[in-house]
């Protein structure tokens, strides 16, 4: 099968999922073509089946903003025609689904029909999509897709709630490559962070307000009153400076490290004891799944799709958004007893295995085949 994948080439969840999916499909013998404006962050070319096509956007003085959607549509036409793709899989509704629709219409003038699968990842629906400026385009693009998937049941229901969607939306959850995340903790790394054997708490995000990174600091400040601990804050964004100041205000800056963006997140998670995710909203919680794959239990909010991943009282705990007291108590409960912590760690890994890449990949392959066959019947 020849598959075109369109995604944002950044560290965000949708880009990571799209890239890992493409790499796995290539390993299974499919020919995979990435079409985007930069090489995706996690994309390497150790497979003969992987290809990257850059979308170049010209900067004409006439345009205040480069017309990326038009450039992407034109590139999609080019790649589909000359690489003879069987299906286009676009990740994130804006602007990828609308660009794919435009490309699809242009390709019809060449006598080519290309089915389009759109995967919804979260903020394209819950944040950007609900903006009245974009809502008609998002609705139209989803309805004109030949197949639509969402990464959680909660996101699927949100999409039906906020948009007049006629298409069936199939839930295909995010996944994890357990071979990548099954690292043994490096003792020297752990010793450098926690020289006295302190517990290590981790948070990873893009430091936006929706991640409630200030709650992470407040939870840790309560934990460290009872249990010797260190906090690793991974990622970067506009909330970082405020978090650094809050650490100083709460007297925990000496026990907190801000590590910035990291490629090898699995090495950091491999030394962690607890993962904190107090987000206001999460369509799925890919960062939490990565932690669980490293045997790290999760204390999180109960927002969005998180209850579909983090099993309350088993792999960690769920609390209402903003309930720092509850999250702090749950974190202490897990960490204060070594045997209890060990059981939560085992439970986290067991749950993560349900989302192993090898379980989810066949679902995508079967869905592509279904969409292609259905489309061929209507052409």
pLDDT band, residue 61 (cuts 50/70/90): low
Beta partners for 277? 300
pLDDT band, residue 39 (cuts 50/70/90): confident
Q: SS3 for 174?
A: coil
Q: Report pLDDT digits (tens) over 366-378.
A: 999 999 998 877 7
pLDDT band, residue 45 (cuts 50/70/90): low
DSSP 37-89: SS--TT----STTEEEEE------TT-SS--HHHHHHHHHHHHHHHHT-SEEE
DSSP state of 209: G
User: Exposed e or buried b for every residue in 85-97, given b needs 16+ CB within 10 A?
Assistant: bbbbbbbbbbbbb
Find tokens 């629906």 and name the residue.
125
Q: Report pLDDT digits (tens) over 254-304.
A: 999 999 988 788 889 999 999 999 999 998 999 999 999 999 999 999 999
Sheet with 87-91, edge to edge strand ranges: 50-54, 31-36, 2-6, 87-91, 116-120, 147-150, 169-171
DSSP 251-300: T-GGGEEEEE--S-HHHHHTT-SEEEE--S--SS-HHHHHHHHTT--EEE
What is the pLDDT, as a whole number, of residue 162?
Answer: 87
Find tokens 């989810």 and name the residue.
360
pLDDT band, residue 192 (cuts 50/70/90): confident
What is the pLDDT, as a whole number, of residue 63?
Answer: 64
CA 49/CA 88 separation, integer angstroms = 16
Residue 156 has pLDDT above 70, yes or no: yes
Query: 84: left (phi > 0), else alpha (psi -120 to 50), else beta?
Result: left
What is the pLDDT, as a whole number, of residue 365?
Answer: 97
Whether 254 contacts 230, CB under 8 Å: no
Residue 28 has pLDDT above 60, yes or no: yes
Q: Quickly count: other Cβ atoms within 10 Å of residue 130's Cβ.
A: 15
Residue 217 has pLDDT above 60, yes or no: yes
Residue 166 has pLDDT above 80, yes or no: yes
Q: How far are the Cα atoms of 66, 94, 152, 205, 216 from residue 11, in angstroms, in the given order?
A: 22, 17, 20, 10, 21
Domains of the chain: 2-175+357-378 (3.40.50.2000), 178-353 (3.40.50.2000)
Residue 250 tokens read as 């709460």
Residue 230 has pLDDT above 80, yes or no: yes
Residue 88 tokens read as 């286009």
Q: SS3 for 243?
A: helix
Q: In sequence order, what are the residues at sequence separation of 6 or more whose Cβ sits closer than 8 angstroms to the Cβ of residue 331? A: 201, 219, 222, 223, 274, 276, 299
CA 83/CA 86 separation, integer angstroms = 9
0.85 surpassed by pTM: yes
Lowest mean pLDDT among 52-56, 185-189, 196-200, 350-354: 185-189
CA 277/CA 301 separation, integer angstroms = 7
Q: Quickly count: other Cβ atoms within 10 Å of residue 363's Cβ.
A: 15
Q: Report pLDDT digits (tens) over 64-119.
A: 667 888 999 999 999 999 999 999 999 988 889 999 999 999 999 999 999 999 99
Whether 266 contacts 183, CB under 8 Å: yes
Residue 129 has pLDDT above 70, yes or no: no
Mean pLDDT of the region 14-29: 89
Q: What is the mean pLDDT of the chain?
A: 91
CA 244/CA 181 separation, integer angstroms = 29
Burial bucket for residue 250 (CB in 10 Å: 0-12, 13-18, 19+): middle
Mean pLDDT of the region 243-248: 96
């Amino acid at each position: 099968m020849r598959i075109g994948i369109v995604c944002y080439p950044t560290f965000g969840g949708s880009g990571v999922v799209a890239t890992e999916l493409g790499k796995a499909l290539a390993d299974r013998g499919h020919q995979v073509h990435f079409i985007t404006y930069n090489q995706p962050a996690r994309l390497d070319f150790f497979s003969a089946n992987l290809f990257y096509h850059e979308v170049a956007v010209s900067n004409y003085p006439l345009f205040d903003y480069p017309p990326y959607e038009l450039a992407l549509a034109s590139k999609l036409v080019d790649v589909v025609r000359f690489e003879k793709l069987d299906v286009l899989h676009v990740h994130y509704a804006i602007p990828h689904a609308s660009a794919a629709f435009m490309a699809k219409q242009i390709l019809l003038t060449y006598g080519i029909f290309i089915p389009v699968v759109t995967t919804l990842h979260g903020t394209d629906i819950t944040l950007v999509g609900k903006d009245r400026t974009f809502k008609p385009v998002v609705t139209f693009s989803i309805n004109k897709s030949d197949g639509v998937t969402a990464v959680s049941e909660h996101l699927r229901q949100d999409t039906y709630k906020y948009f007049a969607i006629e298409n069936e939306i199939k839930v295909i959850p995010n996944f994890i490559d357990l071979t990548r995340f099954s690292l043994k903790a490096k003792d020297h790394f752990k010793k450098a962070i926690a020289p006295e054997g302190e517990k290590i708490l981790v948070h990873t995000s893009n430091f936006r307000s929706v991640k409630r990174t200030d709650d992470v600091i407040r939870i840790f400040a309560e934990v460290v009153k009872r249990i010797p601990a260190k906090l690793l804050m991974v990622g970067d964004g506009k909330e970082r400076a405020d978090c650094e100041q809050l650490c100083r205000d709460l007297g925990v800056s000496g026990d907190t490290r801000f590590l910035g963006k990291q490629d090898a997140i699995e090495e950091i998670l491999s030394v962690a004891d607890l993962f904190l995710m107090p987000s206001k909203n999460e369509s799925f919680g890919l960062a939490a799944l990565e932690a669980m794959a490293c045997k790290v239990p999760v204390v999180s909010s109960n927002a969005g799709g998180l209850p579909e991943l983090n099993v309350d009282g088993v792999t960690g705990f769920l609390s209402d958004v903003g309930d720092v007291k509850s999250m702090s108590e749950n974190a202490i409960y897990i960490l204060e007893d070594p045997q209890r912590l060990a059981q939560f760690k085992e439970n986290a890994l067991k749950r993560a295995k349900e989302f192993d890449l090898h379980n989810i990949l066949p679902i995508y392959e079967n869905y592509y085949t279904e969409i292609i066959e259905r489309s061929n019947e209507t052409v």
